[in-house]
Structure formats: structure tokens, C-alpha cells
Structure 1
Amino acid sequence: MTQKTALNILKTGANVFLTGEPGSGKTYVVNDYVDYLRRAGIETAITASTGIAATHIGGMTIHSWSGIGIKKKLTKYDLEKIATSEYLVKRIRRTKVLIIDEVSMISADTLTMVEAVCREVKGVSAPFGGLQVVLVGDFFQLPPIVDRQEPAPTDLFLELETIEQSTSHFSFSSPVWPRAGLIVCYLTEQHRQADRQFSAVLSAIRSETVGVLEQEIVASRLVTPNTVPTEATKLFSHNLNVDQINLDKLNKISGSVRIFTMKSEGREALVITLKKSCLSPERLELKIGARVMFTKNNQRLGFVNGTLGEVIGFAKLSGRPIVKTKDGRRIEVESMAWPVEENGRALAQITQLPLRLAWAITIHKSQGMSLDEAVMDLSQVFEFGQGYVALSRVRSLAGLHLLGWNQKAFAVHPQVLSIDRNFCQQSVVGEETFTKMPMVDLQKMQRNFILASGGQWPVKNEADEKSRPVINHQRIKKNKIDTLDETLALWRQDQTLKQIAQKRKLAESTIFSHLERLVLQNQLKPAELKRLPSPVLTKALPKIQTVFKELKTRNLLPVFEKMGGAYSYDDLRIARLLLED
């Protein structure tokens, strides 16, 4: 699928899984869509699985946005607490579109928890509380890190009924994935690897068709430890290799060592968990000339988790390290806290400089980076996807310096290989459906979504936006009555769909979309819409709604196919709207 087609589908308000090879333009499409939504005045939450991934699209982590934090499970009690947090409730309720980037690194249970939070806070039973959800990622990337030896529960969480759990760690195994009715947009253009030969190798890994030719191409990039470029970033599969290389490099630098020790307070079990998840070491040794990476986000000081730099000195009074980043900025680095909070009170906390040595980094940490050149040793790769992620970090074959590899380096998870073929097929079907659709119908869907979300139509183009003065970066509120409220008022005056459309000079399909949105927001009850269907359709409702329930779906296509096309999509939409949960 092309970027243009994917963007057109997104603009209809459909829930979407946006995927494709590294360099296919996923982030470009997301940025384009976010810009479009901003110009339409629609509130958008931009999130990702990790700090560095979030910053690639200018967002925050999904854990922070949803309020689930570091929880591995969510009880009904936890949901109630989140739903009474004023700032979380405001954030989630004003959101119309939720974007989750690097979804491959989010576990199935995490996605399930986020969806449960959205429904609870929105007070709407539809998937994700009726939000448009855009999941972005590539499952050939590294899977989520799952703690298979979860510690015994502490008294921090009450032993209440937990929400539905998943049997597999991939997010597509979450029970909410099929319920969300995602349209798959599989991007097929390549914009990162200009090297066709190298792109062919990466594609062969994805399709599990690596042969003699591909192995010969990779073998042509073998180097020895004595011939590797000194300035190139080194990628390894194990932390042990990374730690040893970083220590050796530090010892070769002349000058005195400055030692910074982590501080901790609070519950011991929570402190242990925090230390395990923190990328900064308990004992951090630094010298002038040390290559470092930031391990936490600080927008005020201008660094994020993954920013690279070099220690160029230490402040005279405070003794803090001064780091020069790759783009030339100088930052005096202060200690930062990693807390676990409960109702605004810290139960445990660790404090350390948000830094670690970075001559070498793990393949896991490199995900999302794009490098001109890198040195890597894939001879100890132990996880599906590690080799592919490492190789796809570099832009061309010339930038690849390989110390070795094993056969696991070319292996992909069989479950991912299978689901990816399914995603490709779904994308083809979606593309055919939307490309065959008359442009006037497509634009009508896009218009309906913007208006139903409280946005402005037509959407301002970039030229209009740039010429419009900004006042304190705040959006000027509309003086007119919200479009949904106006439709609601007219419906409760016993006016018909046709009468409301004529009075408001809108299409009947737009008014119907308003009614759907009002039901999702619990402003209208299905019982208030009994006069919507025709007498003929009213008699058929029990039969149609039974099929919806039997198939356990809210999607129209499965019901349409099950009933052999006996009823139109408009009739099915009405039946779905009147369906009591």
C-alpha cells in the first residue's frame, strides 16, 4: 500500500494497524496524519512503547499516557483509581485519536490494560472507549520483554478479579486486537535503504528465504576486531558484551574517574524492580572523553532516552558531568528520580544521573535508530528478530561492519511470519476497497469523521494555518453550538433523520454518524432510536442482531457475509446501533 492510500484511510476515522518494513515511511505517514488532525482542531494522543520511540513522533509513552505505569496486571480497583485521577481523566476524555507507535514492543497484556482504561474513563463500551486507534509498528522488530518469573504479589495491589489476560506476549494476541476492527495498511514503498542489494537481503529475512546469494552479500561485510571503524556505534545481543566493551574503552582514556552512585529509598521489593528496569547503572563511572547515552527524557534540558553525546568536563561547583550531544548542545546533567507513586505519594524511588556508557549498546536499545554505519556481532544472537533489527539499523551495505553471525541472526518468529502473511492479505483487501471507492464517498467519510469528532471542516491547509496568528498557543474555542449537541437537540424534538439533514444542510449519512457517536458517548440510549428503522427493517431487527451476537462482533462485513448480502450496510448499521449490550 502507498503512503497516500494509508493516509486517506486514516482520515476516515477507521481503526488502523499501520505496518511495513523499516524505511517504508510509517513515521512519515503518522506525522502527516497528526498534522492534518491538528489543523482540523482534533485532540490527538501520540504515544509509543518506549521513551526514544515516543520522541521519534513527538509523544509520550503509552504507560504514562494511560496511567498504568509499570503495572504487569490491572485489577478492577486499579481501574477505579485511574478513573478518579483528575489529570488522567481530562487527558483521556479530551482525546479523539490515540496513536501507539512501536506496538511490536508492547505486550498483549499491556494493550489489553490500555484498552480497559480507555473504556473505563470514557464510560463507553466500544473498543478503546470509542477512540480512533492507530497502532503503528513492525512485528519483525524485537518483541516485548516479558518477565517470565514475575515476583509474588505484594500488598501493593489488592487481590481482586483481574481483567482479561492474554496467552501470548505479542500485542496482536490481545483479545482487544480483533475487537478493534483494525484495517491493515501495509506500506510497501522503501525510503531508507537506497541500496537495492541490501534491501533485498532484508526482504529475504522477512520472508524466510535467505539463500546462498544473500549470505554471500552479508559475508562481504565481515571485518576483524583490528579493522573496525573506531567511531562507529557497536551493537551486541548481550548486555555482558556491551558492559565489557564500555569498561575497556573507559579504562583506555587517561584522566581520573568520577563515580556517581545510585541512591534509593522506599519499599525494598519496589526498589529492586526499579533498579532492574533502570538503564542507568547503580555505579556509574565517567571520565572526560567518555561516550554516553541519556537514559531518561527531559524536554526542558533537551535530551531524551537514547540521546548520544560525550563527556567534555565536570562543573566546578557541583561536580556534575557536562555532556556535548551529537548536535553540539552542552548539557550539565543533573540527577533524576525514577519513582513508584500511589495517589501522588512516592512508595519507592531511585535517583541517579540519567546516563550510561555508550561505546556499545544492545540491539534492543538500538531499535528505532537509523545509523550511517555500525559495527555488530551477531554470533551470539539468541532471540527472533535480533539480527534483522541490527542489520536494518544501517542505511546501506557500505555502513555495515560485521564481526560474525550465526544462523539465528536470520531467523524470524514463526508466529510473526504467519501473521505477517495475513496482514499482507488484509492490506490488499483494504486497499482494493478504498481505491475503488468513489472520491466523493471517501471525502464524505472523512468529513463525517472530522465533524463527529468536533473538528473543523474543511480542514485548513498548511498555508492557511501558517497565516493564522497563534495566541498563547491556545486553540480559540468555537462560539457555535457543538455539532453533535445540535443534532441531539433536534432528534429529541422528534424530527426524522431526513428533516434534521435538511435543516442542518448536511447529508443524512452525516446525521446518522452523529447518532452513532452520541450513542458511543452515552448521550443517547438505543431505546431512544426506536423510530429510526423502517417498519420492514424493524421486523428484521431480531434476526440481524442475533447474527451480531452469534459472531461476537460489531463489524459489519462478517454479518453482511453471514447473511448473504440480504440486508444493506445501512440497514446493518441501524441494527448495530439499536443493539443493546
Structure 2
Amino acid sequence: MKFVNVEFITSKRTQDLEFYEILSSLRVGDINPKVSSYLGKFLSRNLILDSSKTVLFGRNIDADELNKAMLNRLDLPLEKFIAGYDIHDENLRSERFIKWVENLNVPANFEFKVGAKVIFTANRYKSAFNSVSFYNGEQGIIDSVVKDGYQILAIKIEKNSGELVEITPNSYDLGEFRLKDDEPSYEILASFYQFPLRLAYGITIHKSQGMSIDNLTCNLNNIFAEGQLYVALSRAINPKNLSIIYSRSASFDSYLNKVVKVSNDVKEFYEKETFIYMD
């Protein structure tokens, strides 16, 4: 099909050019002395519980433990919103539906308290039909819960900007294009309903993809996948608000060289393809 490859060379997330250059090296697996020295400035061995920080982990269990510990610090009733769903196509395989739901960046059961720190997991822009906006990675504090009896209708969030917004559950749709009477049509196979929110104390690196996070801590003790370390560090908006937790016995330099991996397919792509560079 003779695709044209376009590489955007201006960072949208951080304005710190040195940090951007370090991330660019990590992205292609280049662990040189400058990279090691730069990242070493952010190192700490121990995680200090701090509600102002969002901590990224390689494993679900670590993120869940931190969220539970921080939630227990709030002496208020525990709230729970259980996601709803509709199956529109009776032929939809349950395995496909479950896998799709697991890849949505929302919990099936959202447990929270008033006063809890949360992070938005979707983008929503103001329009003629919607007066509330937020972006993936924006944070805030739960101000109150709107209920009808025991049923939760909405959650009011005071964003870090100071703006108070009322959030209702998102509708996530699983769909596909199909031919119907020789004409293509897009059909919704299933819908899932949940608030576009997660607790913001601990998040897995996988679930943080696409987010822009200020006041970030990256726990790098359990990096196991290609590109995982790059994804974690590149969530940071400002390196001045970044810290790195590393407490393994091996030196940090040797650990970096071990875990920073780039797919051979990616390497081959960059070596063989030509690019148009744009701001």
C-alpha cells in the first residue's frame, strides 16, 4: 500500500528538552552513560506514602495494595459502583466480550470514598451536548456522590485545577464493520457502563498508557515487557515532579541494560523505513 511514515518530533507531553532526549533514547533501547546518569538523579530505594503522588507499578498486585492502603486511611464509608453491560448481539462469544472489558481502562467494580484521589481514564471535550471536559491522566479529589436511594447516579470531582465537575458513567461500545446487503455498516455488539475513573494512588504501567501525569513516581522493580520502562517514564509531564523507586540488589545500570528491550521488528522498521519529520 506504500504508506508514508511521518514522525512527529515535538513532544506534546513535556516541554523539558533534555528529558525528551533521554526518553527518545530509551524508546529505541539506547542505554548510554548519559541516560544512566540522568535517570540516576531521580532514584530512591523506598516508597513513601504520599497522597499527592501517583505511583506506576509493573504488577497489578502492587498497585492494588497501595490503593487499598491509601483508601483505608480515609475514615469515611466505602462506596461501590458495579459496572453494567448490555449484549446486543446474541452471537457474541463471552471470551471476546470478557477480553474487551479487561482491556478497557476502568474497573468492573469501582470502590472509592469521598476524599479519594482519582484519575480520569478517558478524554472528553466540551461541546454543544456536553459541558464537562477532562483528559486521560487528569486528576482530582472526589467531592461528593449523587445518589437516588442507594443507587449512585453521579460523582462530583474537584479537579486539580479547582474546577468542580459532575461525572456520570461512560458508555463503552464494542462494535465492528459488517457487510449487510452488500453495504458496509457499523454494528454495536455490546455496551459497558462505568465511570471513567480509577483510584490515582497506584496504577499499572499498562493501564497508564496514553496518560499525562504530573507528580509521578515510577516503581521500576518489576519491569518485564518490551517498552514498559519507556511507557512508565514518558507519562511524566515535568521531570521536576518525577521520582524513581528501585530497590533491587543489582546496580541500576545493569538493571537498565537488562530490562530495556526493543522489539526486533521495531528495530528493523526504523532501520529500513524512511520518514518525514514534522513538528
**Which TM-score applies when normalising by structure 2?**
0.72
Q: Which has the higher contact order (CA 8 A, sep 6+)?
A: 2
TM-superposition CA deviations, 1:437-459 (whole Å, max 9, x none)? xxxxxxxxxxxxxxxxxxxxxxx
Map of 1:296-335 to 2, 5 A cutoff? Answer: 296-299=122-125, 300=130, 301-315=132-146, 317=148, 319=152, 320-335=154-169
Pairwise CA distance, 1:339: 3.6
Which residue pairs with 2:102 in the alignment? 276
Equivalent residue number for residue 240 of structure 1: 61
Deviation at 1:381, TM superposition (A): 0.9
Q: Give, in whole Å, the separation in 1 of the partners of 2:230 and 2:32.
A: 15
Counterpart contact for 2:137–2:213, Cα < 8 Å:
no
Picking from 10, 18, 39, the partner of 1:25 is 10
Count of matched residue positions in the alignment of Structure 1 and Structure 2: 247
Go from structure 1 to structure 2 and tell me whether the alpha carbon gap of 1:201 and 1:257 turns closer, same or farther (over 3 Å shift).
Answer: same
d(CA) in 2 for partners of 1:389, 1:344:
32
Matched residue type, 1:275: V
Percent sequence identity is 27
The equivalences for 1:72-471 within 5 A come to 192-194=15-17, 196=18, 198=19, 201-206=22-27, 208-212=29-33, 214-227=35-48, 230-266=51-87, 267=90, 269=94, 271-299=97-125, 300=130, 301-315=132-146, 317=148, 319=152, 320-340=154-174, 347-394=189-236, 397-404=239-246, 406-407=255-256, 408-423=258-273, 426-427=274-275
**One-letter code aligned to 2:60:** N
User: Within 1, Cα distance between the matches of 2:138 and 2:191?
Assistant: 23
Instruction: Give the Cα separation in 2 of the matches to 1:291 and 1:256.
Output: 15
1:388 Cα deviation (Å)?
Answer: 1.8
In 1, distance between residues paired with 2:269 and 2:65? Answer: 38
Q: Which has the higher helix share?
A: 1
* Aligned equivalents of 1:203, 1:360: Cα separation in 2: 25
Q: Which runs of 5+ in 1 are unaligned?
A: 1-13, 28-55, 57-190, 432-581
CA-CA distance at 1:312 after TM superposition = 0.8
- Contact 1:292/1:357 (CA < 8 Å) preserved in 2? yes
Please tell me whether the aligned partners of residues 385 and 409 of structure 1 are also in contact (alpha carbons under 8 angstroms). no
Residue 51 of structure 2 contacts residue 70 of structure 2 at CA under 8 Å; is this kept in 1?
Answer: no
| Cα gap change, 1:418 to 1:369, in 2 (>3 Å) | same
Structure with more of its chain in strand, by fraction: 2
Counterpart CA distance in 2 for 1:250 and 1:391 is 25
Residues 106 and 121, structure 2, Cα contact 8 Å, conserved in 1: yes
Contact 1:235 1:390 in 2 (8 A): yes
The residue aligned with 2:249 is none
Root mean square deviation of aligned Cα: 3.4
Distance 1:376 1:327, change over 3 A: same
Give 3-state SS (helix, strand or coil) of 1:280's partner.
coil
Conservation of the 8 A alpha-carbon contact between 2:52 and 2:215:
no
Contact 1:373 1:394 in 2 (8 A): yes
Partner of 2:182 in structure 1?
none
Give the distance between the partners of 1:264 and 1:273, measured in 2 at CA: 14
Contact 1:340 1:346 in 2 (8 A): yes
Give structure 2 stretches of 5+ with no counterpart.
Answer: 177-184, 247-251
Tell which deviates more after alignment, 380-389 or 312-321.
312-321
Corresponding residue for residue 127 of structure 1: none
